Amino acid sequence: MIRFERVNKIYDKTKHLALSDVSLDICVGDFVFIVGKSGAGKSTMIKMILKELDPTEGRIFIEDVDITKLKKREIPFYRRKLGIVFQDYRLLTDKTVYENVAYAMEIIEKTHKDIKVKVPEVLNMVGLTHRMNYYPEQLSGGEQQRVSIARAIVNDPKIIICDEPTGNLDPRTSLGIMKLLKAINDRGTTIIMATHDRDIVDMMQARVITLHGGKVVSDKKGGYDCEATYI
């Protein structure tokens, strides 16, 4: 479903080699962690999947389409296939929980009727029905992240990209978020999650891709690979 083929990324300005000869496959329905220290290349990888960055060399396929060749005007339509969850939630502060989720549907021009059915359904799934008319600042961090997950899944994407989704949350809340992501994964959605959070990685026992200095140094199922990280 997702394939990196000998991907290199050198940043123009700094000449920094962010990714070096990365090749990997991620299958439909996988739950994949991307781990590594700051600067290891996690963000670069995520940004490439989001088509925010293009590789300097190599190709990236999503469902057999080489996304490095997408035209600029095709990017929005490509991104509608993805759901994105950020560490800092990125909710619109002047919109309610309901509106924040509805917004993702409005943007892709869904009708009011569809929105009215789908948004409560998704909010129910993330357990926030009772917070529907609250504003983000009235919610806890965990609740805000749930809203952001609801927004990511509302358009039924095939892939969800999470960039440090538990980075700002305490362990107990993080656990709740992971359970939610696992539930979404169980319905067949592929989840790719970049994280620092060792406890979570160990707990989930999923596939772990470890990056170090822009290289994939380990790719196996299990927990956080200490050796690989400290090579």
What is the contact surface with another protein in residues (CB under 8 A)?
A: 50, 62-65, 70, 73-74, 76-82, 84, 90, 92, 94, 103-104, 106-109, 111-112, 151, 155
The residue among 34 and 82 lying less far from another protein, judged by its C-beta, is 82
Give the shortest CB-147-to-another protein separation in angstroms: 12
**To which H or E segment does residue 91 belong?**
none
The residue among 33 and 89 lying less far from another protein, judged by its C-beta, is 89
Contact call for residues 2 and 25 (beta carbons, < 8 A): yes
Strands 65-66 and 82-86 come out as unpaired
- What is the three-class DSSP state of 170? coil
Position 205: which residue type? Q
Give the shortest CB-130-to-another protein separation in angstroms: 24
Token output for 92: 């619109």
Q: How far is CA 229 from the centre of its chain?
A: 21
**Alpha-carbon torsion 145, 216, 220, 62, what sign?**
positive
Give the shortest CB-138-to-another protein separation in angstroms: 18
Give the shortest CB-97-to-another protein separation in angstroms: 15
**To which H or E segment does residue 133 belong?**
none
Token output for 144: 């805000």
The residue among 27 and 226 lying less far from another protein, judged by its C-beta, is 27
Give the shortest CB-113-to-another protein separation in angstroms: 9
Strands 159-163 and 190-195 come out as parallel
The residue among 28 and 226 lying less far from another protein, judged by its C-beta, is 28
The residue among 107 and 231 lying less far from another protein, judged by its C-beta, is 107
User: Exposed, middle or buried, 199 (CB in 10 Å: 0-12/13-18/19+)?
Assistant: middle
The residue among 104 and 119 lying less far from another protein, judged by its C-beta, is 104
Give the shortest CB-17-to-another protein separation in angstroms: 25
